[in-house]
Amino acid sequence: MAAEDMSQVLDQRVATPLSPRAVGATGAAAAFALICTAALLLRWRYGTDTDVSWIITINETLLRGGRLYVDVFEPNPPASVLIYMFPVWTAQLIGVRPELAVDFFVFALAGFSLALTMRLVRGTSILGDAEPVAFCLVGSAVFLILPTLTFGQREHIATLLLLPSLFVQARQAERSVAPFGWALLAGIASGIAVAVKPPLAAVVAAGGIAAAWRSGRLIGLFAIVNVAAAAVALLYVVAAWWFFPEFFTVILPMVADTYTWLREPLWLLILQPALPSLLVLVVIGLMIERGRWPAATVVLFAGAVGAAVSFLVQGKGWAYHAYPMLALALTALGILVLGSRLSSRRIGLAMAWALAVAIFGGIWLASDEAEPEIAVRAMLERVRPHPTMLLIGSNISTGHPLVRRLGGRWVGTLPCIWAAHGARLRRMFGGVSPEADRRLDDHIAREKAVLIADIRDKKPEVILFNHYAFDWYAWAKSDPVIAELLNDYEQATTIQGGTLWWRRR
């Protein structure tokens, strides 16, 4: 065949590669089974994330009768903890590991989110020419495989809860009114997402603005989905104030003075992989379709921009904070790819770039893995099986998920020494007023009092110390009361970035 003839074949417009009409129902079912298998293998490979492991521990404490922000000092708001209560309670009820129950809960939530989204898509043109079943396959991959280590994190759960509301907004963008009940349900889910992760309110706002712009109706901003989300968020604040006053009177001032101000410079946040990846995905979308995008693509990309705002507002630059942005942008781009009628050569190039971004994003999201040292685990399992433990240091991943993998019990009120760590860094950077300096002293004193009570009353068998960029053992010994309590302990071994001490027998 001549070269020019081959070029004509390659440039022919083709049907959507993942269309059920192209691969058939059996192929779609096989693809979904493959996605689920890959997701399960990733769960086996990565296990439970550090933060999720700690929140499981908090919920176990609460189910034993403990009080949040009294018996457990947690810097995040109540919904960030309580969203995991049901799977942890269920695990205790049926006798399985809470980590397994949390994974099942997230899989079920993904199924709910995609099922509700598919119901909202039915009878509309918001996906353009993309087939709904093919879209569901893309969504399954984005929400089950892409998270890797971020699976089950608050950002992952919040994104699943936000997805249906964005499709209600996409219907509004096309002036197609969603059934009231489904829109209300999506709005409630969206409000819960904002309660779990307040900065993600920017996603709801961005989606609503995009829908109003596309439809030319500003009244759409006050649609039931948005009103329900705002109402749930407002009711949550009132309930949190009523049931958890210590969060507002004790924890929030500590967080404001020692935690929220710890942020990366704006230029460094912009150079993180997240924002360039979003830009690349938008450019790929423009390569595929420079005309009128499907409504779902417009709203999802707008939601991704809102998630980028959330990423910048939080200012930490942590990979899991970027998951909502990457997930929504990849889903938006997937709709364009599935509905495209470009030449096979151009669509193949676009898919290759999108896949590269997805793979890179998955690797980045898995980069925060904290794997306990095998030798340390083996030693503790042999000499101090199922130990009671706490941490004196700033890195929560030193203790979690290690304590849970050992079958031990965390007896620390704190996950780590987060307030004193933030106070130390704030003073190191300077510019602290006398009033702020007094508040920092109060926060450190409160945290030390909690630590002293934990060591004295609960007598942990193992104490972990961090030595990353600061000697926390020396910090502890500088306090005469803590120093006296530590006389009952001896160093057993070194661990990555610290030391492990156990109680003398």
Q: Please tell me whether residue 307 adopts helix, strand or coil conformation.
A: helix
Spell out the residues 6+ positions from residue 386 whose beta carbon is closer than 8 angstroms to its own: 406, 407, 408, 409
Look at residue 271 and tell me whether its pLDDT is greater than 80. Answer: yes
Structure confidence at residue 103 (pLDDT) = 96
CA distances from 186 to 142, 192, 383 (A): 20, 10, 51
Phi–psi pair at 285, nearest 5 degrees = -60, -40
Q: Please tell me whether residue 494 adopts helix, strand or coil conformation.
A: strand
Angle separating helix axes 344-365 and 323-339, nearest 10 degrees:
160
Cα(first)–Cα(last) distance of the chain, in Å? Answer: 83
Task: Please report where in the chains the tokens 């020692």 appear, as a residue.
Answer: 258
Structure confidence at residue 373 (pLDDT) = 61
Look at residue 9 and tell me whether its pLDDT is greater than 70. Answer: no
For residue 383, the tally of other CB atoms under 10 A from its CB is: 10
What percent of the chain is predicted at pLDDT more than 70? 90
Q: How far is it, in rounded angstroms, from Cα 322 to Cα 320?
A: 5
Spell out the residues 6+ positions from residue 354 whose beta carbon is closer than 8 angstroms to its own: 281, 284, 330, 333, 334, 337
Most confidently predicted of 9-18, 102-111, 256-265: 102-111
Structure confidence at residue 24 (pLDDT) = 60
CA distances from 479 to 179, 464, 482, 492 (A): 63, 17, 5, 22
Look at residue 504 and tell me whether its pLDDT is greater than 50. Answer: yes
Look at residue 240 and tell me whether its pLDDT is greater than 70. Answer: yes
If DSSP states are collapsed to H, E and C, what string results for 102-116?
HHHHHHHHHHHHHHH
Residue range 149-159: average pLDDT? 95
Q: Quote the strand ranges of 263-406, DSSP E.
A: 388-392
Q: How far is it, in rounded angstroms, from Cα 137 to Cα 305?
A: 23
Q: How far is it, in rounded angstroms, from Cα 274 to Cα 48?
A: 23
List the beta bridge partners of residue 392: 465
For residue 373, the tally of other CB atoms under 10 A from its CB is: 14
* Residue-wise pLDDT tens digits, 67-91: 999 999 999 999 999 999 999 999 9
Look at residue 290 and tell me whether its pLDDT is greater than 60. Answer: yes
Structure confidence at residue 369 (pLDDT) = 54
Residue range 245-270: average pLDDT? 92
Structure confidence at residue 354 (pLDDT) = 67
Q: How far is it, in rounded angstroms, from Cα 418 to Cα 420?
A: 6
Residue range 360-389: average pLDDT? 74
**Mean pLDDT of all residues belonging to the chain:** 89
Structure confidence at residue 343 (pLDDT) = 56
Q: How far is it, in rounded angstroms, from Cα 208 to Cα 223?
A: 9
Angle separating helix axes 154-173 and 323-339, nearest 10 degrees:
40
Task: Please report where in the chains the tokens 């980028």 appear, as a residue.
Answer: 308
Look at residue 180 and tell me whether its pLDDT is greater than 60. Answer: yes
Q: Which residue has the higher pLDDT, 478 or 495?
A: 478
List the beta bridge partners of residue 503: 489
Structure confidence at residue 144 (pLDDT) = 94
Q: Which residue has the higher pLDDT, 23 or 398?
A: 398
pTM for this predicted structure: 0.91
- The answer to whether 462 and 431 have CB atoms below 8 angstroms apart is no
What percent of the chain is predicted at pLDDT more than 90? 66
Q: How far is it, in rounded angstroms, from Cα 250 to Cα 67?
A: 14
Pull the structure tokens for residue 434. 């006398």
Q: How far is it, in rounded angstroms, from Cα 426 to Cα 171?
A: 47
Look at residue 353 and tell me whether its pLDDT is greater than 80. Answer: no
CA distances from 77 to 35, 38, 74, 199, 307 (A): 33, 33, 8, 12, 19
Sheet holding 409-410, edge to edge: 409-410, 388-392, 462-466, 498-503, 489-495
Is the link from the previous residue into 179 a cis peptide, with omega within 30 of 0?
no
Q: What is the largest CA-CA distance in the chain?
A: 87
**Helix segments in 197-273, DSSP class H:** 201-215, 224-243, 245-246, 252-258, 266-271
